[in-house]
Homo-oligomer: A and B are copies of this chain.
Amino acid sequence: MEEQFPIKKVMDDQGNLIDSSYEEKIDEELVRTMYYNMLRIRTFDRKAINLQRQGRIGTYPPFEGQEASQVGSALALKDGDWMFPTYRDHGATLTFGADMVRTFLYWNGRHEGVVPPKGKNIFPAAVPIATQIPHATGTAWAEKRKGTTNIALAYFGDGATSEGDFHEGLNFASVFQTPTVFFNQNNGYAISVPIEKQMNSKTIAQKALAYDMPSVRIDGNDCFSVYFEMEKAVNRAREGSGPTLIEAVTWRTGAHTTADDPTKYRPDGQGEEIVHPLDRLEMFMKNYGHWNEEWISETKEKIENEVEAAVEAMENSPKANPADLFDYVFEQNPEHLEEQKDQYLAQLKGD
């Protein structure tokens, strides 16, 4: 099966194009957009880890190492499309247009953190593994029924493929030919469980065969491979040709979350040979004349300012409102709940 699903690359580990025909497709704008977003989310990610260490936000699941997968895939979407992320996909949501302040707020346990900007269809990060997969199928199905060309993109990890909802979501998508892209980030581990213990198959892409669904296995650390293969899948979906499963083979550099210690389960040195996606893009930029120190340092500064400002805004935002506990359970509170609210808020006031 592995031979049937070779890992597709556009550039090699040293940032050299494997297929020179891509040279013209990769223009300065694309390169800069890619670099900017990858650097931006990495900066966000590292900041979040620091904030957690300082007790300024809660437990946080870093995505470092997966920047190419997240940015490359998110950039292939348009406004109107839908994104169904997991807890580890804030790189993707930020790239697609999620608000950074709110994203920090989310990791501070705030409901405000899942509310997307107007016009951006971003679902709350799925916490119960794989449950978002049928949502993406259903949403795409809705768009198809409405006759739009919007598509839905579901993110999920290698571990998620073991859940029933993965199977049911892909089966529905294939039966109803919904415009969904199932984007798997195979980062080698589900917390501590390596993929060899998660499944007997060597690839995730092959799981699409069960549904007669097109699939492809790509180098998830190659932002261009991600972007162009996503584009194909997205176009197929928009044209009404149904869903696609993409397996992006990538690597989580750090811990599962800030509460996790990967040295407990990863063999020494594992993954060290992997060239990080941002380094790889940097080499590509140098190799192909896109490296401009001035632009780079401007960009870095801009990003750092943005992230710092977002942290400040997060920390200055008003405290969580206890009434929010009650006000959104139903469109209108049943009487007993209104009573619970009134009593509790009165008690709080009394304090």
Binding site for B on A (CB under 8 A): 1, 162-168, 171, 174-175, 177, 197-202, 206-207, 209-213
Contacts and interface: CB of A to CB of B under 8 A. Distances in A.
A206 B164 CA distance: 18
9 contacts: A163-B164, A164-B165, A164-B167, A171-B199, A175-B198, A177-B200, A201-B211, A206-B212, A209-B209
A212 B1 contact: yes
Most B-side CB within 10 Å, residue of A197, A202, A206, A212: A212
Contact of A200 (B167, B200, B207, B213): B213
A156 to B, nearest CB: 14
A168 B164 contact: yes
A209 B206 contact: yes
A1 B209 contact: yes
* SS of A interface (majority): helix
A163 B163 CA distance: 11
Contacts of A175: 197-200
Nearest to A2: B212
A210 B209 CA distance: 7
Nearest to A171: B162
Contacts of A177: 200
Given A1-B209, A206-B209, A206-B210, A174 B200 contact: yes
Contacts of A171: 162, 199-200
A174, A200, A207, A212 interface centre (most CB from chain B within 10 Å): A200
Given A171-B200, A175-B197, A202-B212, 19 more contacts: A1-B209, A162-B171, A163-B164, A163-B168, A164-B165, A164-B168, A166-B167, A167-B167, A171-B199, A177-B200, A199-B211, A200-B211, A201-B209, A201-B210, A206-B210, A207-B210, A209-B209, A209-B210, A210-B210
